[in-house]
């Protein structure tokens, strides 16, 4: 029986970077965490210990910092693409480069009614993401959002669902609907205004969630994806992963007190998880 090396890769994980753009009247910041992976001709490193084709992962990390210093502020998609172009140009043994970038979002602290020029507060746990997969033949670019937490107190129902002998859930015509939006979308084309489109997709997801007359979280997921594809031609598909964050009505009858849908118990686990990709034909 023969033995051979299967698919393999290596890279640098959790490369963290804070970039400060210093202008006379204001400062801008961007905080990124990057993961870099190479695929290519690395078999001899595994089978014979020959490292002559291995670019050290420490060099990958250093390249991130040098290119961040050499180039102006740019969307994480463009910065990741610049890194990929550098790695492919200088490493003929590398056939594929994948970069995942997660951006921590910061907002300016308001002072005296105006945004402060150089002081910031973290905008919760929400992150902007970018995932690039490139060979010398082409590149696929996905962008996304993680941990965008939303909740609405009306225009949400769940009725007419399948029942069996283990079903205890009651139908609800007007429930709380909450989720943490995880979304990523695939771009089609190269001349894309990444910042403008990302801001627009985020706004579309939020507005659709808020206004949609939801018959289920699946129903709302599809409406959100459909709205994004209708609004942004450069997007070929969007994948949404929506955990159903449950808020259970507290029974106060023991205390001879009514509860007309005003007091709820938030529960993190277990929760439902709804996922789907909405795509163009």
Q: Which of 147, 120, 115 is nearest to 18 (CA)?
A: 120
Pairing status of strand 235-249 against strand 177-187: antiparallel
Catalytic residue among 61, 127, 212, 246: 246
Whether 151 and 178 have beta carbons less than 8 Å apart is answered as yes
**Catalytic annotation, pick one of 12, 30, 127, 212:** 12
Distance separating alpha carbons of residues 228 and 198, to the nearest angstrom:
11
DSSP one-letter code for 7: S
If DSSP codes are grouped into helix, strand and coil, which group holds residue 46? helix
Rounded Cα–Cα distance for residues 49 and 53 (Å): 11
Known active-site residue 246:
yes
190 vs 152: CA distance, rounded Å: 37
Burial of 120 (0-12, 13-18, 19+ CB in 10 A): middle
CB 267 within 8 A of CB 251: no
3-state SS of 166-213 is CCCCCCECCCCEEEEEEEEEEECCCCCCHHHHHHHHHHHHHHHHHHCC
Residue pair 185/202 in contact (Cβ under 8 Å)? The answer is no
Helix (DSSP H) and strand (DSSP E) numbers for the chain: 5, 8
> Regarding beta strands 264-279 and 235-249, do their DSSP bridges make them parallel or antiparallel, or are they unpaired?
antiparallel
Q: Among the options 57, 116, 153, 155, which is catalytic?
A: 57
| Residue 71 designated active-site | no
Q: Which residues are catalytic?
A: 12, 57, 246
């Amino acid at each position: 029986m023969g033995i051979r090396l299967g698919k393999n890769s290596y890279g640098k994980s959790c490369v963290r970077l804070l970039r400060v753009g210093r202008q006379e009247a204001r400062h801008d910041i961007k905080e990124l965490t990057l993961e870099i992976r190479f695929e290519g001709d690395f078999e001899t490193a595994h089978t014979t210990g020959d490292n002559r084709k291995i670019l050290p992962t420490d060099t990958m990390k250093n390249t991130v910092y040098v290119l961040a210093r050499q180039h102006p502020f740019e969307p994480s998609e463009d910065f990741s693409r610049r890194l990929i172009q550098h790695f492919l140009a200088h490493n003929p043994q590398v056939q594929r480069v994948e970069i995942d970038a997660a951006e921590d979002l910061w907002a300016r602290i308001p002072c005296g009614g105006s945004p402060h020029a150089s002081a910031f507060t973290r905008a919760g746990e929400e992150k902007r993401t970018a995932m690039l997969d490139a060979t010398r033949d082409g590149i696929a670019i996905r962008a996304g959002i993680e941990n965008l937490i939303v909740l609405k107190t009306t225009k949400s129902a769940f009725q007419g669902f399948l029942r069996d002998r283990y079903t205890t859930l009651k139908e609800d015509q007007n429930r709380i609907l909450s989720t943490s939006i995880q979304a990523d979308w695939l771009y089609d084309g190269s001349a894309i205004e990444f910042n403008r489109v990302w801001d627009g997709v985020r706004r579309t997801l939020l507005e659709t969630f808020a206004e949609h007359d939801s018959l289920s979280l699946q129903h709302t997921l599809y409406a959100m994806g459909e709205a994004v594809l209708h609004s942004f031609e450069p997007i070929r598909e969007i994948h949404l992963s929506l955990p159903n964050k449950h808020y259970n009505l507290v029974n106060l009858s023991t205390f001879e007190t009514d509860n007309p849908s005003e007091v709820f118990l938030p529960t993190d686990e277990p929760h439902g998880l709804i996922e789907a990709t909405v795509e163009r034909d």
